[in-house]
Amino acid sequence: MSAETGTNFDEMLNADGSVRPAYAEFRQWFDGQDKGWLRRQDAEAERFFRRIGITFNVYGDDAAEERLIPFDMIPRIITAREWRKLTRGIEQRVRALNAFLQDLYHRQEIIRSGRLPIEALRNNDAFLTQMIGFTPPGGVYTHIVGIDLVRTGPDDFMVLEDNARTPSGVSYMLENRETMMAMFPELFTKIPVRPVSDYPRRLARSLRACAPPAFRGDKGSRPVVAVLTPGIFNSAYFEHAFLADQMGAELVEGNDLRVVDGRVCMRTTTGYKAIDVIYRRVDDDYLDPLTFNPNSALGIAGIFDVYRSGGVTIANAPGTGIADDKAIYSYMPEIVEFYTGEKPILQNVPTWRCSEADSLGYVLDNLADLVVKEVHGSGGYGMLIGPTSSKKEIADFEAKLRAKPANYIAQPTLSLSTVPIFQKEGLAPRHVDLRPFVLVSPDGIDITPGGLTRVALKKGSLVVNSSQGGGTKDSWVLDE
């Protein structure tokens, strides 16, 4: 398989250069625009992002503490038919993820049945023994899920990764749309694009639907929701503030919170006030220094006891990380089938588990053609992309892999689809992925049409992560 552009599936253009139906109306509009004007709009968009402060902090890069994620004005367009199939697949997968978590922390039927080896849980930090035997309010583990999809052909969408902990990026989905509508309002009168702007309202509703037993709803009051952020130095702080603001929720930090009379309370100017639902954007490790990381300055002492006694809802539930672990990922087809009784609608990317001797042998023999990832890594760090790596990089990685094979999985280098980006010279194809955002509540599963399209801005690059210089696009799902 090749990472070269030109041999892969382009979502806008057919191999003969004609425009695919999904993009027909957009392309007609685009071709009619003055390119100088488009370039000026492009510059205007950057100023807009800076002014409202949509920035992203890159760790370990002091000089550019706050960066913009580059925004590309060419939308990524998905047809109604494609989206229907995707939503069925996503819903099935998210249902399975929640059932899987419920099972793992209770009877572990999937292990008893022999579909998942017990080794997948042993010595896995993402599996929280403190959650065993406990069911979160409403039975929901993953209130917010981001499913990372890649596309390799007209009908070939695959799941690259499940994000069941604290998926980020939804603020970019929303702001990208705002920006497009401000820059090119006439586009939205010509083309029927499904709206995304009510995501924060749906998120708030979904979180309130998971209020804990301690919430009584006296006098028609509504559950108090707060977004828990590590603070302004976190890379996604903008998003935390944005979502709190849009939901009308409080934005709290660990040192605003304290356990008072069996409830988690925030320090207000007039005293401590109980919170019902915490949408936490901190890792499990930083939740409760008494239960988890004793060195954490970010957590709230005793919050876990309150949680277990029904005093607060934590979204997503602690311990959901086990479901998006890359070692577990390779078992997702079995997991989906085990809990839904159906064949998976969305395929996994073929994955070799380096913990298994046969697989390791294959991976070592084919390193130059594979993508090798750390089981617990994220953000595009600590991975090897064989086809674009030097001999020395491959040799160095091989040493690490041999030293700790169970720490890695390998996948073929996929021929990811491309969508054009706008450049001075015109349109140029770049690889993309898609992260739809999924809300889970006792009332059901709610998928916002579209999601966040991340795009590799360098020619031929397959790495779309914003921490590695990727950009984003507005993602359109066309109405029926």
Residue 287 touches other proteins, criterion: CB under 8 A:
no
The residue (of 202 and 267) whose beta carbon lies closer to other proteins is: 267
SS (H, E, C) 7-71: CCCECCECCCCCECHHHHHHHHHHHCCCHHHHHHHHHHHHHHHHHHCCCECCCCCHHHCCECCCE
Yes or no: say if 453 and 473 are a contact pair by the CB < 8 Å rule.
Answer: yes
Judged by CB under 8 A, the residue of 123, 129, 189, 269 near other proteins is 269
Encoded tokens for 4:
């070269």
Judged by CB under 8 A, the residue of 251, 410, 421, 438 near other proteins is 251
Judged by CB under 8 A, the residue of 140, 228, 259, 266 near other proteins is 266
β-bridge partners, 338: none
User: Which has the closest alpha carbon to 154: 91, 79, 73?
Assistant: 79
Residue 232 touches other proteins, criterion: CB under 8 A:
yes
Helix axes 357-365, 391-403, angle to 10 degrees: 170
Residue 252 touches other proteins, criterion: CB under 8 A:
yes
Task: Say what the alpha-carbon torsion angle 198, 161, 84, 437 is, to the nearest 10 degrees.
Answer: 0
Residue 410 touches other proteins, criterion: CB under 8 A:
no
Site for other proteins in 26-55 (CB under 8 A): 50-53
The residue (of 50 and 107) whose beta carbon lies closer to other proteins is: 50
> Among the candidate windows 158-166, 245-253, 334-342, 393-401, which touches other proteins by CB under 8 A?
245-253
DSSP strands (E only) in 184-245: 225-228
Judged by CB under 8 A, the residue of 74, 170, 180, 244 near other proteins is 244
Least distance to other proteins, CB of residue 50, Å: 7
Least distance to other proteins, CB of residue 192, Å: 29
Residue 256 touches other proteins, criterion: CB under 8 A:
yes
Judged by CB under 8 A, the residue of 32, 36, 114, 271 near other proteins is 271
Yes or no: say if 371 and 340 are a contact pair by the CB < 8 Å rule.
Answer: no
Terminal Cα-to-Cα distance of the chain (whole angstroms): 35
Encoded tokens for 211:
């209020």
The residue (of 189 and 269) whose beta carbon lies closer to other proteins is: 269
Residue 237 touches other proteins, criterion: CB under 8 A:
yes
Least distance to other proteins, CB of residue 441, Å: 23
Residue 253 touches other proteins, criterion: CB under 8 A:
yes
> Among the candidate windows 104-112, 157-165, 252-260, 393-401, which touches other proteins by CB under 8 A?
252-260
Residue 72 CA to residue 144 CA, distance in Å, equals: 26
Number of H helices, E strands in the chain: 13, 21
Name the site residues for other proteins (rule: CB under 8 A): 50-53, 231-232, 237, 241, 244-245, 250-253, 255-256, 266-271
